[in-house]
Chain A
């Protein structure tokens, strides 16, 4: 009875937040429902045939979205917490919104849950997952998650209490996730890329000794278009075209493929369904006048720079937005661990005489967000001429200015809450739908 009451309350709050346009209702319904029924997640998740958890610092949303895409293509009915609201209240909200009061059940095959590094430890035992994916551990918001060693230690403790029959998939190229093999009673399976080293990898380790269960070979990166590679499993070799740029997205794709394989889906069909895949909102998003790439921590941001830098043309402009809200991390010092220098080397590429080159770059770099000045200082020390940096903390104004007289493309690199704000600005100006209505 308490469960039903909690669900009813949650559904009502969800309805009201959407009615009054307070947002997508991705947190509040769960928050209130959990205060009535603390075991809500356990009870409702048990009604879903299979649950998959995806955790790690970077790539959760992209992996979850790709896996959902695969599953839907295979005819499965899926739910996931798809607006990046990955705390318990976010999971609860999704479970409530999809619950059918009439049949007191779900018409679903699969739940895909992305959990942040800390939320994993409290929620995984409640969800009792069939499959867990550990993508990577990088420095991210140390003010919130604590140090890397602590994150891994806590994951270890959680793995020890989970059912040893759980399928555990880890990034074999990340020394920290690979270590998890030692703390799980069952067998851990690994995915990775043998030919490349991913930047930001915290600890060097020898890859040749690694036995990968899912591997990308012959990787070819094709600029902003994406990449091609051979997907190798114990019994398949599959040519794959991934419509997402950058090596880091290959890891997300491998994780999604590995999960799909464990669900018994046909991999060859999945590879061809990638053509119709569209990226998660804001992570890597194509706009009529440019692109959005989310940046949120040193490793992820550096990977984004590596991906876009070789593709920047002289007429292109950059807009970077740094916020220090709780979801971004209140500590902005991570920008000093991030290689903004990479953007510089590309902007100077093009081989024109230095003087005209400098003149052309004037006004091509826009800095915004609550901590715009901090970011501008970082760029100065990365080697950018401060005269070419336009600082405007208000994002809407910056966007307007950056688009005025734009001849090339605009690359927008926002932190998390700046990205949400950007989505609202774009929706208001009719450029795209509200993000919670996507999909």
Chain B
């Protein structure tokens, strides 16, 4: 079996150790004998149907984020991503990537950055910096990470949060929700890096990718995750 991971704007959107998520996906697939290819999709690239089996979209600096927001619309990559997600292709987006896949991002000054409209959420700039370790209760059990954002994201009616914050800020620091899940696409504020310390989530993404690609049920071979789970549990205990 083989998986192709599309790293959206990997050259611009790769802040706070986000690349660790790609490393985790790649290794966990390879340890099971699944070949992995990572394709960086930048401003010049196109996205074709069925080209990638799993997408990752990280966070970036403000300037990069503006460029990317524009490119998603102009190059119509945003539309292509959306139609891939509609047919079940899994995606993980963190921070800036998550914001750009929502309805819009409203900065302090200037016009709204129109998003892809994949997640039924919108984000507004704020003057609060939400920084620190975060623990979230979700359908994947506890998730641990580190958040660092000032944008506040609000869920629209019918949007499903990825989980509820046990400790930390989450989407907006008010309603305890963190992230959003739509079909097999996940958006969240957890950097740090998310997948190495949350192997259950990493494996869920891999499983969904294989199932969509090969149109059959897939059971992933179990791995020895004692070190990952030890780290995960320490984080839950220390910061939860």
Interfacial residues, chain A to chain B (CB-CB below 8 A): 139, 142-143, 147-150, 330-337, 373-374, 376-378, 380-381, 386
| Contact of B131 with A by CB under 8 A | yes
Q: Check A373 against B146 for contact (C-beta < 8 Å).
A: no
**Shortest Cβ distance from residue A302 to the other chain B in the assembled complex, whole angstroms:** 13
Chain B positions within 8 Å of A377 at CB level: 196-197, 227-228, 231
Give Cα A337–Cα B132 distance, bound, in whole angstroms. 19
Residue pair B148, A143 in contact (C-beta under 8 Å): yes
Q: Kindly state whether residue B172 has any CB partner on chain A within 8 Å.
A: no
Assess whether B192 is in contact with A331, with CB atoms less than 8 Å apart.
yes
CB contacts (< 8 Å) of A331 on chain B: these are 16, 131, 146, 148, 191-192
From A341, which residue of chain B is reached at the shortest CB distance?
B23
Q: Are A378 and B148 in contact (CB under 8 A)?
A: no
* Interface status of B24 (Cβ within 8 A of chain A): yes
Assuming A143-B131, A332-B192, is B231 touching A373 (CB within 8 A)?
yes
A333 to B95, CA, bound (A): 14
A149 B20 Cβ-Cβ under 8 A: no
Between A and B, 21 residue pairs with Cβ closer than 8 Å are: A142-B16, A143-B148, A148-B61, A330-B146, A331-B131, A331-B146, A331-B148, A332-B192, A334-B17, A336-B23, A337-B14, A337-B19, A373-B230, A377-B227, A377-B231, A378-B20, A378-B196, A380-B228, A381-B23, A381-B24, A386-B227
Per-position binary interface string of chain B over residues 12-36, scored 1 when its CB falls under 8 Å from any chain A CB and 0 otherwise: 0011111110011001000000000
> Are the C-beta atoms of B197 and A333 separated by less than 8 Å?
no
Q: B62 on the interface (CB 8 Å rule)?
A: yes
Binding site for A on B (CB under 8 A): 14-20, 23-24, 27, 61-63, 131-133, 146, 148, 191-193, 196-197, 224, 226-228, 230-231, 234
- Measured CB to CB, the nearest residue on chain A to B20 is A336
Instruction: Report chain A residues within 8 Å CB of B131.
Output: 143, 330-331
Would you call A376 and B23 a contact (CB within 8 A)? no
- Name B19's contact: one of A142, A147, A336 (CB within 8 Å): A336
Complex Cα distance A149/B60, Å?
11
Q: Are A374 and B17 in contact (CB under 8 A)?
A: no
Bound CA–CA A374/B133 (angstroms): 13
Give Cα A281 to B82, complex, Å: 53
Known: A142-B148, A333-B193, A336-B17. A374 touches B61 (CB 8 A): no
Given contacts A143-B148, A336-B20, contact A373 B62 (CB under 8 A): no
Q: A331-B191, A332-B146, A377-B197 are in contact. List 20 more A-B contacts (CB 8 A).
A: A142-B16, A143-B148, A147-B62, A149-B61, A149-B62, A150-B61, A330-B132, A331-B16, A333-B16, A333-B193, A334-B17, A335-B17, A336-B17, A336-B23, A337-B19, A373-B227, A373-B230, A377-B228, A381-B196, A386-B224
